Amino acid sequence: MSEHFEAAFARASRGVVPASTIVVLLLLSVIPLGLPHISHVGPALSLAAVYYWTTCRPDLLPLATVFGLGVLQDLILGTPLGLSALVLLLASGFVVSQRRAILGKGFVVSWLGFVLVALGAAVIGWLAASLYFLTIVGFTPIILEAAITAALYPLFAWCLGQVHRRLVG
Amino acid sequence: MAAPHERLTQLTIPFRAIAQRFAFIALVGGSFALMLLGKADTVLTERVRQFVADAVAPILAVLSEPVAAVNHGVQTIDGLVNLHTENARLRVENERLRQWQVAARRIEQENAAYRSLLNAKGGESRTSFITARVVADTSGPFIRTMILSAGTRDGVTKGMPVAIADGVVGQIVEAGERASRVLLVTDLNSRLPVLIENTRARAILSGDNSDWPRLQFFANADELQRGDRIVTSGQGGVFPPGLLVGVVASVGDRVARVQLFADLNRLEYVRVLRHEAPELEESRDGLRAPGKRMP
């Protein structure tokens, strides 16, 4: 009985690891670093984490959780409510549909996949924000953010890989 | 024993795929619905945002402590390295400021004399401030905001101007109990009534999510020059007049860009200003005055 309970507890705690890492990254990403220019186009950590977990363990990051995390991100960042939720959902949906093309093909393919997702997310985010604010939002900072996130993806993937191996197995 | 179980799993796969697709479409629809709701019911979304900001502000305050400590360390080392040159610079500046102090005292006395001659009332506005720590820099490509560690319990309310000694920072747009959000002057939605200090020409400083907000709706564009100082006009009564904003960095056709005095990337502590506009009191007096005089 207790073994059964332990197994259930282990499964449940594994289940919250991906969402927890995204919440932690989200909080870390808003800490004022005091570095010029970085804060305004800092990497989109949540997108990188959603990509990582959806490629490796989509069962641990269901769409409803992605939606919830997106809404939380919008509430913390102050971005239009639903904007990050939309971007993260579309990214997650895309990755789920293309998972077979990415998984098991080596890290470079996975990285390239993320470059594509980051670009797509930038374009969708820009379109949605421009529609929301009824004006053309500057595209340069958005594409810069995507480029920084894409360039730093190996680092995030390594960190998330450590968490993945130690806590999820 | 395993065969029927596997068959059942295989049977449910298409249903699960359909359910997942339906969930995806529903959630994407939900995102759009939230965006519409945020646009339509700003009061509700603001309240939810305040609640979340209140909840995460203490966590962020703790998380940002080590970063602040490292920054302080770097600043201390930097200060020690540049001690000599800094000292020399301050000596020169002190000399210049003493001269300014003499000039300011003279002008103050002159002003007081003119005021009494004209019998002017309420010329001085009262401004006090609440010091708050920046616990989160939530600026991104879509929005330029920050979360402060002071809320309604500290006296911060929505609409209050935020500044540092160097210049204007922004305005409080959401005030929770212990945290509040500042809309920076660089944000797309920020509009600040300003004056060009030399010419006293009025203009609007409007942000566009870049580091250099635009100067709009100013008359006599020919008079505007690079290096002109921009101060708040106090129009609208939200910001106190004469608060430093920045200098004109570039002048183009109908649009000029402003370099802000406040370095918005390095904010650690800010002042939330409690400003009472003198104009309002005057007009109230003005309304009451005839009644008083009438016997």
pLDDT above 60: residue B287: no
- Average pLDDT for chain B: 84
Task: Find chain A residues with C-beta within 8 A of B56's C-beta.
Answer: 27, 76
Q: What three-state secondary structure class fits B183?
A: strand
Summarised one tens digit per residue, pLDDT across range B193-213 is: 999 888 888 889 999 888 899
The lowest-confidence range among A69-73, B38-42, B47-51, B96-100 is B38-42
So what's the pLDDT on residue B293? 39
Question: Per the CB < 8 Å rule, is A86 touching B32?
Answer: yes
Q: Chain B partners of A76 at a C-beta cutoff of 8 Å?
A: 52-53, 56, 136, 138
Residues 93-152 in B contacting A (C-alpha not used; CB under 8 Å): 134-147
Whole-number pLDDT of residue B260: 93
Tell me if B60 and A30 make a contact (CB, 8 A cut-off).
Answer: yes
pLDDT at B263 over 60: yes
Q: Which two tokens stand for residue A41?
A: 């186009």
- Summarize the confidence of residues B16-37 as an average pLDDT: 88
| Confidence (pLDDT) at A137 | 86
B176 token code pair: 């929770």
- Tell which of A74, A84, A123, A126 to mutate to test the B interface (max B CBs under 10 Å): A74
Q: How many CB atoms lie within 10 A of CB B8?
A: 9
Other C-beta atoms within 10 Å of B281: how many?
Answer: 14
**What's the pLDDT score for residue A127?**
94
Of B24, B48, B188, Cβ closest to residue A75: B48
**Count of domains forming chain A:** 1
Q: Tell whether the model's pLDDT for residue B289 goes beyond 70.
A: no
Helix A2-29 to helix B42-81 angle (10° resolution) is: 70
Dihedral (CA of A128, B34, B42, B60) sign = negative
Per-residue model confidence (pLDDT) at position B284: 44
Confidence at residue B291, expressed as pLDDT on a 0 to 100 scale: 38
pLDDT in tens, B78-95: 888 888 998 999 999 999
Whole-number average pLDDT of chain A: 87
What is the pLDDT averaged over residues B277-284?
Answer: 50
The tokens for B228 are 């002109």
**pLDDT tops 60 at residue B9:** yes
Check CB contact under 8 Å for B265 and A39: yes
Evaluate if residue B282 carries a pLDDT over 60.
no
From chain B, the residues in CB contact with A71 under 8 A are 34
Interface test with A, best of B16, B18, B27, B214 (most A CBs within 10 A): B27
Q: Which residues of A touch B71 (CB under 8 A)?
A: 33-34
**pLDDT, mean of residues B131-135:** 91
Residue A35 pLDDT: 67
- Chain B positions touching A75 (Cβ under 8 A) are 48-49, 52-53
Between chains, do B137 and A35 touch, taking CB under 8 Å as contact? Answer: no
Supply the pLDDT for residue B290. 39
Over residues B158-173, the mean pLDDT reads 92
Kindly report the CATH number assigned to the domain that includes residue A27: 1.10.1760
Cβ contact, residue pair B142, A80, below 8 Å:
yes
- Region B140-165 average pLDDT: 91
At B240 the pLDDT is: 87
Q: CA of A86: which chain B residue's CA is closest?
A: B31
Instruction: Please report, to the nearest 10 degrees, the dihedral formed by the alpha carbons of residues B93, B98, B104, B108 taken in order.
Output: 150
Which residues constitute the domain of residue A117? 2-168
Chain A residues with CB under 8 Å of B39 CB are: 80, 132
Q: Contact B140/A64, CB-based, under 8 Å?
A: no
For residue B27, list chain A residues with Cβ-Cβ distance below 8 A.
Answer: 63-64, 66-67, 85, 89
B265 neighbourhood in chain A, CB within 8 Å:
34-40
Between A55 and B291, residue with greater pLDDT: A55
Chain B, nearest residue to A63 by Cα: B24
Residue of A41, A76, A80 lying closest to B56 (CB–CB) = A76
What per-residue confidence (pLDDT) applies to A37?
A: 57
What confidence score (pLDDT) does residue B17 get?
77
Give the model confidence (pLDDT) of A19-66 as tens digits.
Answer: 999 999 888 888 887 766 555 666 788 999 999 999 988 888 889 999
A34 near B268, Cβ under 8 Å? yes
CB contact under 8 A, A89 and B64: no
Quick one: pLDDT band at residue B281, thresholds 50, 70, 90?
A: very low
Put simply, whether B267 touches A (Cβ < 8 Å) is yes
Neighbouring C-beta atoms of residue A167, cutoff 10 Å: 14
Q: Which residues in chain B are contacts of A74 at CB distance < 8 A? A: 34
- Report, as an integer, the average pLDDT of A92-101: 89
pLDDT of residue B122: 60
More confident of the two residues A44 and B169 = B169
Of A28, A81, A125, the CB nearest to B35: A81
- A79 burial via Cβ count (<10 Å: 0-12, 13-18, 19+): buried
Cα separation, B91 vs A134, in Å, equals: 52
The residues that bridge with B133 in the sheet, in sequence order, are B269
CA–CA separation, A3 and A56 (whole Å) = 27
